[in-house]
Amino acid sequence: MAPLADTLKLLGLHHTAEHLDDLVALATKRRWSPTQLLEHLADVEQQERARRSLERRLLRSRLGRITSMEAFDWAWPTRIDRAAVEAALRLDFLTASRNCVLVAAQGLGKTMIAQNIAHQAVLAGHHVLFTTAAQLLLDLGSQDSARGLARRLNAYGQRGLLVLDELGYLSYDARAADLLFQVVSRRYERNSLVLTTNLAFSDWPTIFPNAGSAIALIDRLIHHAEIITIEGESYRRRAAEVTRKAPRSKPTS
């Protein structure tokens, strides 16, 4: 069976090649006709390719470990549009090539929501990239040639869904604003963008204090966008207080 397995691998039927003996035994046991065997092989190969494709998309998304929305405490924020969040998780904005902007102070779960949106997009078959604004601008700013910069801008512009986390925690110079504007422009009305920020749009000039493109950046970002604002106290602060107030167990002698 070894030569047949090698031929199957050359044809790209890797799962069939790896499980050839078991498949032949199963077909013999169930007395499959040639058509039934081929239908089974086609179905198994399709499932296996879908699994490998999902694994590759998850790896390339750079999502890492996420916390499911089942753990999200909807009652904690003083203001949150649950219907809008759930629509974003259903990827309603993505089908219309719209953006989704999550505006919230630190510790209210905007990154968690963005990660879950990205995860749902991966499961739906989209090519996703999750990164922070700082990482993206560092990558673009480190390109030492015009060709290299153009290649990276195209990579960010063409990804099916780009998720930019934590815009607003650091200030950037005018060149960084121009680079971010180029990314947003390449995606404008073509590919969706999810962005999380801790600042209202009126405060964005503090992120790019000397950039003339800041207003144009905001305008292009929110022109076709679902803007979800979350208000309240920090989850992490609450968790820290609960931990601090919890009675400590006495050490055993």
Residues 144-165: pLDDT tens digits?
999 999 999 999 999 999 999 9
The pLDDT value given to residue 222: 92
Residues 196-225: pLDDT tens digits?
999 998 898 889 887 778 888 999 999 999
- For residue 236, which amino acid is it? R
The pLDDT value given to residue 74: 95
- How far is it, in rounded angstroms, from Cα 157 to Cα 219? 18
Give the chain's domains with CATH numbers.
2-61 (no CATH), 69-234 (3.40.50.300)
- The verdict on pTM exceeding 0.75 is yes
Residues 121-141: pLDDT tens digits?
999 999 999 999 999 999 999
The pLDDT value given to residue 239: 62
The answer to whether residue 238 scores a pLDDT higher than 70 is no
CB-based contact 225:87 (threshold 8 Å): no
Distances (CA, A) of 16 to 5, 36, 127: 8, 15, 27
The tokens of 31 are what? 């007395």
How high is the mean pLDDT of the chain? 91
| Average confidence (pLDDT) over 161-181 | 93
Buried b / exposed e over 177-214, threshold 16 CB at 10 Å, is: bbbbbbbbbbbbeebbbbbbbbeebeebeebbeebebb
- How far is it, in rounded angstroms, from Cα 228 to Cα 214? 20
What is the DSSP pairing of strand 99-104 with strand 225-230?
A: parallel
Distances (CA, A) of 168 to 4, 171, 198, 226, 227: 58, 7, 6, 18, 16
Residues 9-59: pLDDT tens digits?
999 999 999 999 999 999 999 999 999 999 999 999 999 999 999 999 999
The tokens of 214 are what? 């800041």
